[in-house]
Amino acid sequence: MKVLILPDLQAAIARAADIIVKTVQTKPDAVLGLATGGTMLPLYDELAHRHRAGKVSFASTTSFNLDEYIGLSPEHPCSYHHYMQQAFFDHVDIDPARTHLPKGDASDPQAAADDYEARISDAGGIDLQLLGIGQNGHIGFNEPTASLGSRTRIKTLTRSTREANQRYFRSFDETPQYAITTGVATILESRKCLLIATGAAKAEAVARMIEGPLAAVCPASALQLHKRATVVLDAEAAEQLALRDYYETVHPDGRESAFGG
């Protein structure tokens, strides 16, 4: 795992944006795996800013989001469809026909999940998968003890995830209990993964992901198996890493290593 530690939130977001922009410049028709959540908002702002400045075009890219709540229509203000529209799609030149999210309002959510997995595969797989991490170690909505071999499917959300997401809804009871999420194995098949974590609230989960045992109880630890996983952290999210000095020696200020890796 490539662990890049940046001094603050702004520097971490800029570093992550550099990696995404480079991927799209190298492969304009890249298939991007996108994520939602508070961590991603400044990143989408930064990408939109770079797009407006003429530094990157998403016109030929395809996107697949990680997850969507079951029971919410795309128009629902708390749906991830709506989030993506507001946070990113409306501000860049991505072709709406090539943006994909699981259909949370499908009459048969498992059939919709199977269809989603097939669409990712038909698109040739994901070139760069963007990821956040939950305080409980989830990636996508793969909650603790999710199968490390899982594919896109329905997951029941933990109480802690619903509590973390309650701020977007009127009450805990209105916060959805189920979601369609791509699986851990779906994520691991991406050619590159880029996980971003910022803030002290993520420090424990980050340490478990990078230095804890590989275990389904921390689904993000599955990234230990990935050949090209990069983790971008701000100093606060890195504060519980036992081997922090080592990561900072390999990648001073979050730069590439001496041998370019």
Q: Write the burial class of residue 235 (CB in 10 Å: 0-12 exposed, 13-18 middle, 19+ buried).
A: middle
d(CA 61, CA 48): 14
Q: How far is CA 175 from the centre of its chain?
A: 20
Q: Which residue is nearest to ligand PGA (CB)?
A: 37
Judged by DSSP in three states, 140 sits in coil
- Known catalytic membership, residue 136: yes
Q: Which two tokens stand for residue 151?
A: 């594919």
- Taking CB under 6 A as the criterion, the residue among 133, 179, 210, 233 binding ligand PGA is 133
The 153-156 sheet, strands edge to edge: 67-69, 178-181, 153-156
For residue 134, the minimal CB distance to ligand PGA (Å) is: 4
Which residues does 181 contact at the CB level (< 8 Å), separation at least 6? 66, 67, 102, 140, 141, 142, 152, 153, 155
* 43/200 Cα distance (integer angstroms): 18
Q: How far apart are the first and last CA of the chain?
A: 10
**Catalytic residue (one of 143, 165, 226, 234):** 143
Whole-number Å distance between alpha carbons of 238 and 38: 18
Q: Which stretch binds ligand PGA (CB under 6 A): 19-27, 115-123, 132-140, 226-234?
A: 132-140
- Angle (CA) 61-65-68 rounded to 5° is 150
Are the CB atoms for 4 and 249 separated by under 8 Å?
A: no
Asked if 132 touches ligand PGA (CB under 6 A), the answer is yes
Shortest CB 257 distance to ligand PGA, Å: 27
> Judged by CB under 6 A, does residue 134 bind ligand PGA?
yes
| List 65, 136, 142, 165, catalytic entry | 136
**Residue 37 interacts with ligand PGA (CB under 6 A)?**
yes
Task: Single out the segment in contact with ligand PGA by CB under 6 A; choices: 32-40, 117-125, 149-157, 226-234.
Answer: 32-40
Pattern of binders to ligand PGA over 135-174, x per CB under 6 A?
A: ----------------------------------------
Among residues 23, 39, 152, 175, which is the contact residue for ligand PGA, using CB under 6 A?
39
**Active-site annotation holds for 76:** no
CB of 219 vs ligand PGA, minimal distance in Å? 10
Minimum separation from the CB atom of position 259 to ligand PGA (A): 31
Q: Please state the φ and ψ torsions of residue 179, each to the nearest 5 degrees.
A: -145, 160
Q: Is 168 in contact with 186 (CB distance < 8 Å)? A: no
Q: State yes or no: is 29 an active-site residue.
A: no
Q: How far is the CB of 242 from ligand PGA (least distance, A)?
A: 23
- Which of 8, 10, 25, 38 contacts ligand PGA by CB under 6 A? 38
Q: Which residues bind ligand PGA (CB under 6 A)?
A: 37-39, 132-134
Catalytic residues, which ones? Answer: 67, 136, 138, 143
